[in-house]
């Protein structure tokens, strides 16, 4: 087995039997890990304690890898997370981007919208609005994709999709984003009540540029595993006199090198907090002030 395959087996084991032991064996001692809401990445030992505390608040937690792709030492894993809160089952999707050193994690960042988890604890975040993003993996089959061996295909994807998309991201032209999508495509971001159609994309990006000055998407990492492409970005800009730095990932599903689905993963709660001062208290991801799931 390749190192990334060994890691993925251990990751699956943690997801099925979450514990301090199954989690700790994923990380190199000097690994750094970041989650939405963290001001700074955590070292491995501190992070394991963080997850153990989180498991107390999320009983019956399970992590189910659904899609994954690898490029060199970088592995993307899109997963369906489930738990039970106050006797009710909950779910939220996430993407985890890891840099491996052998089969051990040297660097990792988790991508999800904290709203989709915290709304089950915090009345201020509860809403009856539909959330198209929260259940996107509900019916997905596990192991739907893996890393390809076809370097020529990956090169074509980079030439036709990754490179021009990244170029447009540095100076976003809202109309140009349409060229990467098939006519019947849909896009789903955190907070969306419904998927957007291809013809709605220009208006969406024009709205973003109106709200976020100097909006840019900076390419960090990518990996492809037919029919999926993962891209990790850093989104930057300004809201009033405040600087926006938002880590983000996208998972595209392709047909004939055109996206038929684009799903983004980012912390919409952090974005909302820039526009809604009443949400500023959720800046700290610490579980310390949350009630237990049984409360």
The CATH number assigned to the domain holding 234 equals: 3.10.450.50
Residue 76 lies in a domain: yes
For residues 164 and 262, state if they share a domain.
yes
% pLDDT > 90, the chain: 76
Q: Which residue has the higher pLDDT, 283 or 68?
A: 68
DSSP string across 75-88: EEEEEEEEEEETTE
What confidence category does residue 39 fall into, taking pLDDT thresholds of 50, 70 and 90? confident
What confidence category does residue 288 fall into, taking pLDDT thresholds of 50, 70 and 90? very low
For residues 206 and 268, state if they share a domain.
yes
pTM of the model: 0.92
Residue 290 lies in a domain: no
- What letter does residue 199 receive in the DSSP assignment? G
For residues 218 and 237, state if they share a domain.
yes
For residues 85 and 14, state if they share a domain.
yes
- What residues make up the domain containing 87? 3-146
List strands edge to edge, sheet with 196-197: 196-197, 181-188, 258-265, 242-255, 228-239, 213-225
For residues 225 and 125, state if they share a domain.
no
Q: For residue range 97-139, what is the model confidence (pLDDT) as tens digits?
A: 999 999 999 999 999 999 999 999 888 898 889 999 999 998 8
Which candidate, 92, 131, 132, 127, places its Cα nearest to that of 112? 92
pLDDT score of 286:
37
Residue 69 lies in a domain: yes
Tokens (6 digits) for 66:
């659904």
Chosen domain end from 146, 168, 196: 146
- Counted residue by residue, the chain has a size of 295
- Given a cut of 60, whether residue 294 has pLDDT beyond it is no
Per the structure, how many domains does the chain have?
A: 2
């Amino acid at each position: 087995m390749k190192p990334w395959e060994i890691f993925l087996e251990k990751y699956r084991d943690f997801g099925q039997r979450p514990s301090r032991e199954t989690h700790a064996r994923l990380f190199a001692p000097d690994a750094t890990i970041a989650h939405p809401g963290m001001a700074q990445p955590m070292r491995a030992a501190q992070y394991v304690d963080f997850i153990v505390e989180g498991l107390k608040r999320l009983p019956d937690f399970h992590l189910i890898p659904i899609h994954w792709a690898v490029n060199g030492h970088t592995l993307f894993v899109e997963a369906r997370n489930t738990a039970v809160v106050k006797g009710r089952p909950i779910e939220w999707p996430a993407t985890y981007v890891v840099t491996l050193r052998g089969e051990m994690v040297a660097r990792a960042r988790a991508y999800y919208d904290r709203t989709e988890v915290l709304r089950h604890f915090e009345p201020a975040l509860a809403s009856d609005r539909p959330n198209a993003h929260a259940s996107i993996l509900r019916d997905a089959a596990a192991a739907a994709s893996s890393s390809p061996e076809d370097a020529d295909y990956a090169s074509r994807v980079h030439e036709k999709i990754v490179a021009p998309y990244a170029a447009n991201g540095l100076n976003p032209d809202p109309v140009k984003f349409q060229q990467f999508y098939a006519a019947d495509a849909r896009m789903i971001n955190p907070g969306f009540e419904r998927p957007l159609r291809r013809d709605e994309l220009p208006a969406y990006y024009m709205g973003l540029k109106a709200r976020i000055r100097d909006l840019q998407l900076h390419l960090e990492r990518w990996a492809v595993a037919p029919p999926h492409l993962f891209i990790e970005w850093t989104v930057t800009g300004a809201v009033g006199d405040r600087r926006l730095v938002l880590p983000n990932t996208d998972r595209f599903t392709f047909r004939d090198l055109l996206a038929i689905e684009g799903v983004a993963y980012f912390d919409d709660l952090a974005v909302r907090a820039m526009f809604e001062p009443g949400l500023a208290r959720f800046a700290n991801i610490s579980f310390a002030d949350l009630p237990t799931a049984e409360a």
